[in-house]
Structure formats: C-alpha cells, structure tokens
Amino acid sequence: MRNRPLILILLLLFVFMNMTLSGCWNRREVQQIIIGTGLGIDIVHLDGKVQYRLSVLVLQTAQATTTGDTTQMGGQASVGTARVISSQGDTLYDAVRNWNLRSSRQLFLGHTLIIVLGDSITPEEFGQVLDFINRHKDIRFRTLVVAYNGKAEEALQAHPEFESLASMEIQQLILQNGPRVSKIGAVNVFQMTYDLLTPGRQLVLPRLQLVTPPESLSQSLSSEDKSDDIGPQNKVVQVDGSSLFKGYQQVGWMNDYETQGMLFIKNQFRGGIIPVSLLGQNYSILLSKASSEIKPEYNGDRLVINVKVKATGAIQEGGSEINEITPQNIRQFEQALNQEVTHRCNAAISKSHKLDTDVFGFGDKIHRVEPEMWKNISEQWDEIYSGVEVRISSDCHIEHYGLVK
Amino acid sequence: MLDKGRINSIQLLLLLVMAELATSLFTVPSRAIMAAGPDSWISLLVVTGLYGLLVAWVTLTLSQRFPTRVFTEYLPDIVGRVPGKILTAIFAILLMHISGGILSQGSAFVHIAFLRETPSLLLDMVFMGAAFYGAYLGIEVIARHTVLLFAFFTVSVLVVVLLVLPDVNIDNFLPVLENGYMPVILGAKDASAWRGEVFLILMFYPYLNLKQEASKAAYGTIIIAVVFSTLITMTVIGVFGSEVASTQLYTVFKLARYISIAQFIERIDILIVIIWIAGVILKLAIFQHAAGIAAATTLGVKNYRWPLLGSAIISTAMALIFFGNQAQFDYFFDKIWPLYAYSIELFFPALILILALLLNKKGVNES
Amino acid sequence: MRKLSRKTQTSEMDVDLNSYQLENKPISASLKENIAIVQNIFNPCDDLHLREFVIGQEHPVSAAIFFIDPATNYDILQRDVMEPLLSIMDFPPEGITINWLMKEKLPMGKVLAGQQWSDVIKNISSGLAGLFIDGLNTMVLISVFENNSRSIPEPSSETVTRGPQDGFTEDIRRNTALLRKRLHTPRLAIKQLEVGEITRTRVNLVYLKGIINENLVTEIEERINRIKIDGIVSDGQLEEFLRDSPWSLISTVNSTERPDVLAAALLEGRAGLIFDNTPFCLIIPVTMVNLLQSPEDYYDNYWFSSFIRLLRWSAFFTSLLAPALYIAVTTFHQELLPTQLLLSIIISREKVPFPGLVEALVMEMSFEILREAGVRLPRAFGQTISIVGAIVIGQAAVSAGLVSPAMVVVVSLTAISSFSTPSLSLANSVRILRFIFMLLAASLGLFGIMVLLSVLVFYLCSVRSFGIPYLSPLAPVSFSDLKDVFIRVPVWMMDKRPRLMGRNDLLRQASGQKPGPPPPEERGEEK
C-alpha cells in the first residue's frame, strides 16, 4: 500500500478526465429542455407519403419568467404558457428529431402524462406507434393512453380549466376522478401493450372528447354568437365512453352507459351512481365495492360465459313516493338495481358482439382457467366470439340509505 | 495463496450470492419467461436450483481435497505440469471472458437506459476501474463490501416487490404447465448458467476461515439465489404477464418504473439503478479477483496485482470485441452462453474431480 | 451454555485484584512489601506518587505516603500532613500507633484507618492519600482532596443539553484527574510518554487494564516512541503520525474534549491519549460508526436517541450527496422528479446563465468561505457576516439571477446536515468528498455517483484504525454490535462490549437486568 498517493492522484485524474471528456455527452441542463406532458399522434399524408405528426403539449417556461417579472404587481400567474407544437416525419422518432429543426430546446418525453391517439391512425401504423412507445427510454408504462375521434393535435389544444396544462387535467380526470364515476376505463401504456399482445384480449381505450362547456354555450346562445364554430382553444376536455379496437383496427365507440357495463364485467367498476327508477320515480344508488367473476362453461354443445357481478351500494337520493324504507322496499330496490346493472352489462355485450371484438378478454379468461377448452377454440375465437352467449347475473345489495330515514 | 485475506462463511455465502444475483436478477426473468411463459418461476425454483446444487457439490468436493490452495494452483498437480499450465491459462482467460460479458452487460444497461450518448468504452472503463480497485484491495475488502451491498440489495428488491404488489394479477400465473414440463426445463437453460456461478468457490475456498462451514455457504448460496430470482420472476409475471414481459429487455427495471402508489410514491427507478451499478461493480471485482489470481498462479508470480491489471485490460478489450453490439450480445447469451457456462461450471470441474479421485490426488500436508 | 460462559466471564471482572489475592487480605506490616504491592496493583499509573520519609528523630520509623497527583491539594498535604508528621520528635511510650497519629498528629477533617487491601485500593484510587508506616499493619487514609475551585470549562465544540458539562483543559494533570473522578479503579492505567525533543510534551496513554487488548497498548506506545520530532504543540500533529492509512482523507482517530466520552470509550476497550497544553484528547481505535455517535445518545431516552441516530445517518448522507444528486437529477435524470416539481425547477432556473455544476460549485464555495470566515472572525463581526451571508447569498444571488432558489435550498440543507455530524473530522472529510461527488455527478450523472460511492465503500472497507476495520460493525458485520449503530437499544440490553475492541472482557454487565415494577406483594398491595 505504499503507492496510496499514486492511486489518489490517478483517481482525481480520472474524475477530471471524465469531466473534460464526457462533460457534454448526455448533459442537458433543465433550461435546455422542454417538457412534453401530452403527446398527440396523427397520421397525415404528404404527397401520397405517410407522415407521422407528433403534437406535443408543452409549457413554455421561458415566457414564465418574463411575464412573471413584469406582472409582479399582480397579473398573470407566472407558470408559463401552454402550447401545442407539432412536427412531422417519416417515422415517429424522425418527427421527434425534426422537432429540433424549429425549436431551440430539446424535447424531453420523460414526463409524458398522456398519449392521445388520433383517429387517422390505421392498423398499419398502429404497430409502429406501439413499438415507438414501448421502445422509447423516456416514456413510461404508466403513461395514460386515450383515443380521440379527430385530430389528436386538436385535442391537446383544449383549454385547461383547473390545471395549468390540459394533459394534467386529463390525467387527473382519469386517475383521480375516474373511479368516482366509473365511466372511464383507465388504460396506460402497459395495459395497452398487454391487451394487444395477450391472445384473447382486445384493446379498449378511453375516449377523449372536446366539449363546449354548457355555461359558455348558453352565454354564446344568448349573445347570438356563432356557437358551432369555436376553436378547440375554447373547448374543454371530457373523458367518457371508450374506443373499441379489434387487433390494431379501431372498430367503434362505446358510450358511457355501455362503458359502465363493460367496467362491471371487467371488474374495473370502482364506484359510481346508478340511477334506478322504481314506482315511477328515479333514485340514485351509489355503488361501491363492485366485483365480477367470469366463468366459461359448456352448456351441452354451446359455449356459455357466465358473468356474476356483485356490488354493494347505498341510496343517495330519492323521490317522495316511498317515505319509509323497509326491508321489503329494500328488496325492491335491489331488484331494480340488479336489473339496471344487468341492462348496462348487456348493452356493453351487445355492442361488442355487434362490433365483433372481445373487449372483455373472455378468450383470455378461457385460456387461463380452461386451457384445454382454449386449445380447441383459440384458432377460431375471433369468428365465433360474436355467437358466444354471455349470461349476466347481478347480485347487488343496499347497505344503507344516507341521512334520511 | 497469493491473497492473505481471511473471510468467514457468511461473507463467502453472500459473496457467491452477489456473484450470482448482481446481474442475473435483472436479466434472467425475461429470458426465462420467453422460454417458459407463466411457468418460468417453476423452472427457476426447481430446475436451476437442482443444477446449482450439483455444481456446488462438485466444486465444493474438489475444493475440499485441496483446502489451502486455489483451483489454478493445484490443477497442475492433477493433470501434470504442462497440460496443467495450459488449462489454468485457459481457465484464467475464460474468467476474463466472462468478466467481459458482465462488463458489457453492465454498461449496456447504463448506455441504453440512461446515458445514450456516452460511449460504451468510457462506461466500460469506469466500471472496470472501480472493480479493479476493489479486486486490488483484496478478498477481505470485497467480502466486506458484499455484506453491505447485500443489505441494500435485499431492501431494494423487497421494496420494489412490495410496492408493485397491488398491481399483481393472479390470472397471469395461469394456466399452470399448459405445455407440459418441457418448456419448464428449457426455461431454466439460461438461468442455470448463472446459478452455476457458484463454481467460483474453486477460487475462493482457501480464504474461508472455518472450513467446516463451507457446505453451508455453498448450498446456502444456491438457496438464497433461487429464492430471490423466483420471487422477482413471480412478481414480473404477476404484474406484466408473460406476453409483455418477454418483449422487454430490462423487465425488472420496467417493474421499478411501474411503481406508483397513490400517484405519490413513483419514479423511484433509482432503487434498481443503484443496486444494478453497485452490483455490477462488485460482481466484476469478484471475477477480476478470481481471474487475477488465476493469471498470477499460471505465470507463477508472487504478487497478483500486476496480473490483475492485465486481466482488467484484457477483460475490457474482450467486452468490446466479443460483445460489441447488442445483437452479438443477445446472440451470445441466447445460444452460446448456456453450453459455454455448463462446460466451465460443471463439466470441467467434474472432469478434474474424477481425475483427482482416480489418481487419488490430495493436497499435500493439508488437513 | 451461553449462560454458563457468561457467568464465568462476569466473575473475571475482578480478575486482576483476585490474582493478587488481596481482596480481603489484611495489610502486611512490612512497608517494603506494601509499597511493592501498591505499585504492582496500580501499574502503570504515572499519576500515582509515592513519597517516602522518616518519622521521629530519636527512633526513626520509615513511612510512605501514596497520593494521586492531580486530585491532591498540595497545600493541605504539605501543611496538614507532611509538616506534622515530619515534626514528630518522639513517640508516646507504647510506640507509634495509628490511634495516636490520628488523634494527635493529623489535623484533618477526614482521616480513616484501613486494614484491608480492599479499603486501600478503593480509597487511593478515588483520591485519598494513603499513609503506610513500617511495622504497622494498619494504614491511614487521609482526605487531601483538591476542591476544584478553579473553574472547569464547558466543552465548547461538543455540547450536550443533558449530561455532564465539564471539559478537558490545557493542563494534563487536571485532565487525568477528571478521568479519575469517573473511573475509581486501579485498573485505570495512565502511562506517561514524552514526545518532542524540544517541547517534551507530555502525552498520557490511558486505558483500562483487563479490558483493552494489550497488543493495542504496545502498538500505540511503539508508534509514539518512534516519533522523532522537535516538538508538537497540539493533538492533531501527533494524530498524523499515528494513523494506519497516512494518506487517507478520512480521519481514523477521534478527538474529544469531553471526559465522559473518553471514560465511555475506555470502558469499551479503547485507549485514550491525553495531551498537555490542549483540551483535546484522542481516542483510538475509532470506527466510522463511533464518529456518528454523540454522548447524548446515551443520556437520553433510547427511543429518542434511536430516532436521532437515524436522523443523523440520513443527515450524513444528505451532506455527502445532496448537491451531487441535485446536479445529477437536474442535468441527467429529469424523469426522476415529479412533473410539477420539475416544472417549477425549470421556471426557477430559466434566468440562471450557468450550468448546474457551476451554480452548485459557486454556492457551495461561497458557503464554505462564509463558514471559514465565521470561524476566523473576531466575535464582534459575527453578526455582520451572518447578515451579509444571509442577504447576499440567500436573496441577492437569487434575484440577481446567479443561482436558482432550488439550489439555495439544497445548499442550505447540505450545510445544516453537515453540522449534525458529531465528529468535526468526519464532517470535514465529507466537505471535501462532496465536491468530488459533485464533479462526477456533473459528468456521468447518477452513474458517476454510484461508481464513486462503490469505490468509496471499497476504500472504507479497506481502512483500518489500529487494526480495527473502519466500517465495523457494519463490515465485517457483527450482529450483536448492530444494537448501537443505527439505533440505540436500552442500556440494560447492551450486555456486551464491541466485539473487536473489548473481546478480552466481552461482558460489561450481568444479563437480564431489564427493570420492571416490583411484584404485587412487595408493593404492599392488598390481595
């Protein structure tokens, strides 16, 4: 150990060598990057060639400080301005790099909160999109994916009402508020990949919509404005319903009623209001603790899938017809509730039968629990799916009825 | 013995455990899942375990015949001087080659997942520099470092596993044994090669202070390694399912990145990164120490530190030549590595053991 | 079986007394024999003084008095003991007796007669002077205590809120006296050594016989005797001659100015070096874990102490890594931050023209300068400096766009954390290491930090302090010693000394002393 000082000097030399040699390879100061929080993917055709258009929702932080300085006496909040910036390329990564042609800052996708898929993506390109998302080192499995019936670029331009960025708003809508309504089936990159790769499953994405807020609609109506022509900047985002895929092909949409049924079946219903009508009056029942069980079986020669939905709920709101709730009444309520739940589930199933896509993952379930059965039918599953009978049975209970007797 | 250090059985145990797990824990799951699907945890639990125990038994029995010398010292006694020297030279070079593999595995991860624009050569050199320093300081220091790192390693792995538990879907383990036992056995093909790295006991046995605890260390290594890799593989399958998991290069890293508890505990991939980098350095240091000693005994020099430097340089060069790009690398690990590893870990020592038994060679004046 | 071995070890505690078989033996009548025995028991004890003299002029009787130097008030000794004794002309007819001496010749408040060796040893080691007279098998124990009217300073560099408030001074005898006050045992060995051809600085090697590993004592003595130097003026200079790894950035010797810390260290089987002319003494060997322990840990409730320990460990790592992590995360791994936090960091850094590394270096350097200036400044200017520091660095630098507010937070966090390390020498090593970490973080990000951390751990694993591995009991791990590392278990559970240092006498207390309420019958409760 006589040569300790030598080692120390070598070590220091090494450190400094690193400094000078590698100093700029991967270093990006935060001022040199711009954070893309929302990613929109569209396909455009340029001279007959397919081009990927990448629209990124960014926060222009440079503006933040300048406005922050001038408005110190009060004015705009100094968070910067949200903008959507698009670039185009032969491939998605080409588009990412082409971004640098017009931007002084590097695009950083490590904080992509949502990915919006426009309706122009065809099955041919969808595979590439999936690969890009999976292969990119910065995009995380947790990033949410939504489908938009239009240009994704437009969707990102929506006006955020509560958060500083529309992407954050969409993320919170889906993750935080979604389980309170259960009309949105949250899907992240991993779940999308999982649904696409696992045999016997089909992809369902939540549907993003741009809506003109009712309050501004009534305003513009009263002032006799051209209400149908407001740009996306004046619209707000709303997530409800879902977009159904068969393979990579987008085949149709589900409304929120059917989506709720689908969530019941897929065991993703976390809570929400189910309105039921009883004796000509409407009651709100808040469901929580829902669960489902899927059991495929052969009924003679026919494949039947039994779905059992269980839930507990509470009466939250009601009319004046019933002024005292008795155990008999409760049974009536439960019956009505069961009917309603079954109805929703059946609506979802008939939609999926109509579009001929197994969005519930019944095939996957058969594969898991009845591998022998699956071996026989896996080849023709796509063809026979629309003919398979699905039996819904609902078993809901009412736990309490709020603060009124 | 060129290194005068002494280690106890727990240190030897954890040293071998870290040599087995440091890199394999993160790369093995996706390889095993690719071959055996949702049943791959069974192959890791049973098949690799059995193979590992076999290797441990063979190498331990051989080592116990020569308790005061390392493998490359007594090898010439068994097979004769000239063939012995040739074999030890080959053994040393193979150890360097494996080091090269570890090195490029380590730097590939950093290169692909983090420092995309930093050249691999630099990463290789940094890794190797740190490992060389560890190996240079000797077996005792490596052993102490191992114990510290193992604590962090265990905590990190357990934290990752616990935090993704809410995302585990039991359905992903089904159906069990869909295609019979064959895929399960084949699934262990890659992972076994790593379990067999317990053969390093050939090079570390003499440092053990209480020789009667050797078997505890050798078999304990396999048990701990098997438990860890089964646990992490089960978690990967449970969360990602076999289809997605088999498409991912660094599944466990993705697993750590997938952690999200209440949108609050997230983005803690750093847990995996830390133990990956520290683990690779430690594993390299262990292999470099073995390779350096092997080279020194082959050359017959008294100080193993110069051979160690040579071995570090050769290993780095090998990493660049033999594992230059990822395709080469994957090809090696898919096709060549299992057979290659089986021959070094099992067949070669077994052959030597049989020879030693036949010729009744034993360490002279060694109790 | 373990129980059994513990028993035997506990009884070993009194081994060196038993070995002389003196515990209940009466004192012999021969003065020579008595002197030899005392010197034997207390050896080595360079603060025990022996004064031999003769009583009576007609029929001289030889006598000897033993006293511990620093604990003795020489005025009293001279005026009230030596003078009366030396002025005795003749004895009463029945000859010299203890009674006569005590009644007529010793005008002292507290004078005892002792006949058993156990009395003698106990009392001499707690500071009484012992008078032996040839031919008498009884001896006189005279209280000549120094009533410490001189003020004992509070240790300024290591303060505690609960616990003793006395500190070492520049006078080596006072210091050994402070130690003796805590360790009333003949097993406390004090060996006087001298360093420096010109300065002849007195250095006292102190340790507890029977607990310490004797090899350590000879090793320290050898290392000190090897030193050929014109002079040393403080402990730091000697420290550099004593280290195992002379080039190490990390100090492998601990210095303290608290006698309670030294006493506790001796009880664990360490050795101490007390110097003349400096209030700091060295404790050897030392491990990194020791450097992160504070004496107060043992004086407070153990729940609280454990909490503080954990806090201190995390503060230690914060002070080492926080700026480096900040650089790595903001320049390489932006994905590791929560989105909102990253956005606000970006916004706050918008106007800063420097890269993260330069920003961090500027801030760290200015903090270090401020700190250094604060130490050197005359006290009167302290106020000025803190205002300048707070306003210039804290606020003006931010609004001038030189640094970002986030960086200020990181630097202040680092600074506060670095003050929570009890050992100044460790904190200073960390101050330097922090810069190396920052440089590597700026060139290779987290990867660089991890590599350096691995190298650092390799290095720390190889460092030894007088043969004791620096990272023990973490590496090599000793599970029974982990009770006093990240947490502190109750004192009644700390039955064993640290394994590597105290293995001569591993058990420090009887096991199973967990306290509890008395059983009901003892409480006098009605049944």
pLDDT surpassing 70 at residue A218:
no
For C462, name the nearest residue in chain B, comparing CA atoms only: B141
- Judge: C342–A23 Cβ closer than 8 Å, yes or no: no
C256 located within any domain: yes
Q: Is the ipTM of this complex over 0.95?
A: no
- Judge: B175–A368 Cβ closer than 8 Å, yes or no: yes
Chain C residues 282-341 with a CB less than 8 Å from chain B: 332-333, 335-338
Q: Are residues C334 and C211 both part of a single domain?
A: no
* Cβ atoms of A304 and A391 closer than 8 Å: yes
Q: Are residues C434 and C521 both part of a single domain?
A: no
Q: Are residues C163 and C135 both part of a single domain?
A: no
Minimal CA separation from B278 to chain C, in Å = 6
- Judge: B258–A142 Cβ closer than 8 Å, yes or no: yes
- Judge: B122–A21 Cβ closer than 8 Å, yes or no: yes
Task: Name which of B130, B140, B141 is nearest C451 (Cβ-Cβ).
Answer: B130
Q: Are residues C216 and C350 both part of a single domain?
A: no
Which of C334, C359, C434, C446 to mutate against chain A (most A CBs within 10 Å)? C334
Q: HSE of B235 in the Cβ direction (CA atoms, 13 Å)?
A: 26
B48 located within any domain: yes
B24 located within any domain: yes
User: Using CA of residue A262, residue A264, residue A270, residue A272, what is the dihedral sign?
Assistant: positive
Chain C residues 465-494 with a CB less than 8 Å from chain B: 469, 471, 474-477
Task: Name which of C330, C332, C335 is nearest A138 (Cβ-Cβ).
Answer: C335
Task: Print the domain residue range for B96.
Answer: 9-350
Minimal CA separation from A220 to chain C, in Å = 35
Task: Print the domain residue range for C102.
Answer: 2-142
Q: Give the angle C291-C293-C296 at the CA atoms, nearest 5°.
A: 140
C230 located within any domain: yes
* End-to-end CA gap in chain C: 39
The domain that holds B86 is classified in CATH as 1.20.1740.10
C295 located within any domain: no
**CATH 3.30.300.210 residue ranges for chain A:** 257-405
CB proximity C436 to B under 8 Å: no
Q: Are residues C460 and C410 both part of a single domain?
A: yes
Task: Name which of A25, A140, A199 is nearest B118 (Cβ-Cβ).
Answer: A25
Minimal CA separation from B132 to chain C, in Å = 10
* Cβ atoms of C74 and C220 closer than 8 Å: no
- Judge: A18–C339 Cβ closer than 8 Å, yes or no: no
- Judge: B281–C454 Cβ closer than 8 Å, yes or no: yes
Q: Give the angle A240-A241-A247 at the CA atoms, nearest 5°.
A: 130
Q: Are residues C26 and C71 both part of a single domain?
A: yes
Minimal CA separation from B260 to chain A, in Å = 8
What total number of domains does chain C contain?
A: 3
- Judge: B122–A18 Cβ closer than 8 Å, yes or no: yes
Contacting residues of A for C343, CB less than 8 Å apart: 35, 59, 61, 79-80
Q: Are residues C311 and C268 both part of a single domain?
A: no
- Judge: C469–B144 Cβ closer than 8 Å, yes or no: yes
Contacting residues of C for B282, CB less than 8 Å apart: 454
Write out chain C's pLDDT in tens, 527 residues. Answer: 333 333 334 334 444 444 445 556 777 778 888 888 888 888 777 778 888 888 877 778 888 888 887 777 778 888 888 888 888 877 777 777 777 877 777 777 778 888 788 777 877 877 788 888 888 888 888 887 766 655 677 887 788 888 888 888 888 888 888 888 888 888 888 888 888 888 888 899 999 988 888 888 999 999 898 888 888 888 888 888 888 877 788 888 888 889 999 999 999 889 999 988 888 999 988 888 888 988 888 888 899 999 999 999 999 999 999 999 999 988 888 888 888 888 888 888 887 888 888 888 888 888 888 888 877 877 777 777 777 777 777 778 787 778 888 888 898 899 889 888 888 888 888 999 999 899 888 888 888 899 999 999 999 998 888 888 898 888 888 888 888 888 888 888 888 888 888 777 788 888 888 888 888 777 766 55
Second CATH level (architecture) for the domain A257-405:
2-Layer Sandwich (3.30)
Longest dimension (CA), chain C: 104
Tell me chain C's radius of gyration from C-alpha atoms: 29
- Judge: A16–C339 Cβ closer than 8 Å, yes or no: no
What total number of domains does chain B contain?
A: 1
C291 located within any domain: no
Residue C389's pLDDT is 75
Task: Name which of B11, B278, B285 is nearest C450 (Cβ-Cβ).
Answer: B278
C150 located within any domain: no
User: Using CA of residue C430, residue C432, residue C438, residue C440, what is the dihedral sign?
Assistant: negative
Q: Are residues C258 and C378 both part of a single domain?
A: no
Which is it for strands C129-133 and C139-142: parallel, antiparallel or unpaired?
A: antiparallel
Chain B residues 54-113 with a CB less than 8 Å from chain C: 110
Mean pLDDT of all residues in A227-243:
76
Alpha helices in B200-304 (DSSP H): 201-204, 214-245, 251-258, 270-299
C83 located within any domain: yes
**Cα(A177)–Cα(A154) distance, rounded to whole angstroms?**
23
CB proximity A222 to B under 8 Å: no
Name residues whose C-beta falls within 8 Å of residue B328's C-beta, 6 or more positions apart in sequence. Answer: B322
Q: Are residues C161 and C129 both part of a single domain?
A: no
Q: Are residues C136 and C160 both part of a single domain?
A: no
pTM to 2 decimals? 0.88
